[in-house]
Amino acid sequence: MMDIIDFHTHDLEASRALISVDPQQFDPQPGKWYSVGYHPWQDVASLTDDDFDLLGDCARHAQVLAIGETGMDALRGCGLDIQAQVMERHLRLAADLNKPAIIHCVRTAQNILAVRRKAGLTAVPMVIHGFRGNEHVAQTLLKAGCYLSYGPRFNPAALQATPTHRLLIESDDSSTPISEVASLVADVLGISPQEVESIAADNASTLLQH
């Protein structure tokens, strides 16, 4: 049974984790769980229909539990119009397969919610990964039904404003072990790291069960 604490990592060796990979590097290993997507930092403008077919094939694999990471970054990558189109294709796939989407969101919270709304995909569960925004941005995303996933660096007021049933933790591309992330989060919430891990595992299992 899946027992995922680390909701988003790029470490291919990680255990109890959702390992985020590009479809080109998807090579599922026994006992591991994955999400697949085209990262918004790459040249998403050059993605072809074949690339999206490959994404769709990988996304259907039994060890792939989520779509992403996808999303929008105002400071890096292609123009936001192209990033929005590519994210929308990921969201449609997530809707078709009934899997949540893992979203990279840098200064684009309103854009991301607008893309989802205009595409009629508000039912797709979205996890905003590596959330570092302030409390106000957190509230906007939470009101829209998003989950917030916290890594080693975050805004403590935003974390405190996040209800525990919408809380996830992750290591992403950092070298910080997930147990250390759990401790950092626990300090702010005034609970034990074990409680944080169990909250994160429960939420991951709720989100990822089909």
CB of 172 to Zn ion, least distance (A): 5
Looking at the DSSP bridge assignments, the partners of residue 20 are: 35
Contact 87, 54 (CB under 8 A): no
Determine the interface stretch with Zn ion among 22-30, 45-53, 86-94, 167-175 (rule: CB under 5 A): 167-175
Q: Which is nearer to Zn ion, 8 or 89 (CB)?
A: 8
Determine the interface stretch with Zn ion among 47-55, 60-68, 89-97, 165-173 (rule: CB under 5 A): 165-173
What is the rounded (10 degree) CA torsion for 71, 86, 206, 184? Answer: -20
Run of H or E including 104: strand 101-106
> Angle, to 10 degrees, between the axis of helix 193-208 and the axis of helix 178-189?
110
Q: Which is nearer to Zn ion, 6 or 172 (CB)?
A: 172
Site for Zn ion in 132-161 (CB under 5 A): none
Run of H or E including 150: strand 147-150
CB of 194 to Zn ion, least distance (A): 25
**Contact characters 169-188, Zn ion, x per CB under 5 A:** ---x----------------
Determine the interface stretch with Zn ion among 114-122, 131-139, 166-174, 178-186 (rule: CB under 5 A): 166-174
Positive or negative, the CA dihedral 102, 85, 135, 177 is positive
Q: Which residues bind Zn ion (CB under 5 A)?
A: 172
